[in-house]
Amino acid sequence: MQHVIPVDKIGPNGVAMANAVSACVHCGFCLAACPTYKVLGEEMDSPRGRIVLMKSVLEGGLSVQDAAPYIDRCLGCLGCVTACPSGVQYGELLTSYRAFTEEQRERPAIDTLARKLVKETLPHPARFRAAAAAGKIAAPLKGAMPGPLSAMLSLLPKDVPKPEPLPDRLEAIGARRARVALLTGCVQSVLTPQTHWATLRVLAANGVEVVIPKGQGCCGALGMHTGDATSARALAEVNLKIFSLDVDAIITNAAGCGSAMKEYELLFRGTRFEEKARAFAAKVKDISEFLDVLGLVAPKALPEPVTVAYHDACHLAHAQGIVAAPRRLLKAIPNLTLVEIPEGDLCCGSAGTYNIEQPAIANQLGQRKARNVLKTDAQIVATGNIGCQIQLRTHLTQAGARLPVVHTMELLDAAYR
């Protein structure tokens, strides 16, 4: 007798999960696109293998705990979605599955502690800044600490920039072409505040008025990616209430945030916020996507010729399907030569908090990405996600390369000055 996923018993996303499972024909196209399959070579560490495992758990044939190691090793990079000829919505399945099974999980004490630290610090800029300062003191001890805690300390930069408060509003330069709201998020505002300033200046130079709503916060992406739907919804609800939809777009300059906010309907399905979440998600645009559609005001030439390698953030390329837009923006800058990174569509190993929770695999992927970047002989690496910036910078430094890793907007900003 064929088992059937009991969609009526697994929450509002049950139908979406069942549809994703049934769409998979196990053709194997996803294998070559899966970073963990490339590294580990195990069928159960591939997308189609994980789909079989999740199906078995949902149908009651396998325990959550037995499937957990394989599901946990999934980066959620969605490279498989891009490669899939059957249109399997693996992201909807993975996010919903992790949320559904999280409370049924048993975790080692150290993993529970690490997740608690992430939950209580990263989404809150003031706490994260304090934790980063404490981390600098503890850094010499990282070799003696368990994996997740050691990984946290390894990823911290030597210095955390001083806070740079952003204005509530920035006027467009010249005739106003659009009016947008900017998400400032959490980790990026602490580690690379220059990205927000560059974004503001680029938008203003392109005739865009920007409002920065007070009281906004983390988009909830970290919780969504790790199965903590409760905290993700709590954080996202704040932004649903704070952001007015009376703008042309809600702009984000972090791929992970943009991907998560475009999935707010999934997060709030079956709740009183579902309709508002759908309307909010429809307004969300990555900064590169927005500028590409708006039409870029011609930037000036950079002072010196420079070769730039562009790194595709997975949650921009695979989750949102935004690949050409950032490249067109960079190619529009005179004196800039754009080069491609070998295996460019393979995840760098950052993947939200993956490089904390699965440091061994993340390190292998980070080292592989660093080697491929160095093959390009580029002078600068550009990307559209803060997690990728940290991961790339960490592994390029470990490889002995002093190669700047910047946000795409920083290069555009330099070309407008």
Burial of residue 137 (CB within 10 Å: 0-12, 13-18, 19+) is: exposed
The Cα–Cα gap between 190 and 164 comes to 9
pLDDT value for 142: 79
pLDDT value for 57: 95
- Inter-residue contact 411 to 333 (CB < 8 Å): yes
- Inter-residue contact 364 to 389 (CB < 8 Å): no
The Cα–Cα gap between 47 and 113 comes to 28
pLDDT value for 135: 83
pLDDT value for 397: 95
**Residues 286-313 pLDDT 10s:** 999 999 999 999 999 999 999 999 999 9
Nearest partner of 387 among 286, 255, 226, 216, judged by Cα: 255
Neighbours of 284 (CB within 10 A): 24
Measured in whole angstroms, how far is the alpha carbon of residue 100 from the centre of its chain? Answer: 21
The average pLDDT across 228-235 equals 95
Tokens read off for 60 = 């009651």
pLDDT value for 156: 84
Strand 169-170 to strand 208-211: parallel, antiparallel, or no bridges (unpaired)?
Answer: antiparallel
Tokens read off for 256 = 């992970």
Work out the percent of the chain whose per-residue pLDDT is above 90: 84
Backbone angles phi, psi at 402, to 5 degrees: -95, 75
Q: Partners of 208 in the beta sheet?
A: 178
pTM of the model: 0.93
pLDDT value for 100: 93
pLDDT value for 167: 96
**Residues 56-88 pLDDT 10s:** 999 999 999 999 999 999 999 999 999 999 999
**Residues 83-113 pLDDT 10s:** 999 999 999 999 999 999 998 988 999 999 9
2 band by pLDDT with thresholds 50, 70 and 90: low
The average pLDDT across 162-184 equals 95
- Inter-residue contact 330 to 338 (CB < 8 Å): yes
For residue 166, give every residue at least 6 positions away whose Cβ sits within 8 Å of its Cβ, in sequence order, or none.
184, 196, 197, 200, 212
pLDDT greater than 70 at residue 401? yes
Q: What is the mean pLDDT of the chain?
A: 94
pLDDT value for 132: 86
C-alpha distances out from residue 135 to 157, 160, 192, 211, Å: 10, 11, 17, 33
**Residues 313-354 pLDDT 10s:** 999 999 999 999 999 999 999 999 999 999 999 999 999 999
pLDDT greater than 50 at residue 1? no
Work out the percent of the chain whose per-residue pLDDT is above 70: 99
DSSP class of residue 123 equals T
pLDDT greater than 80 at residue 146? no
Whose tokens are 């470990």? That residue is 398
pLDDT value for 94: 96
One-letter amino acid at 223 equals G
Nearest partner of 70 among 55, 56, 53, 58, judged by Cα: 53
pLDDT value for 280: 97
Query: DSSP string spanning 315-342?
Result: HHHTSS---HHHHHHHHTSTTEEEEEPT
The average pLDDT across 357-361 equals 94
The average pLDDT across 239-264 equals 97
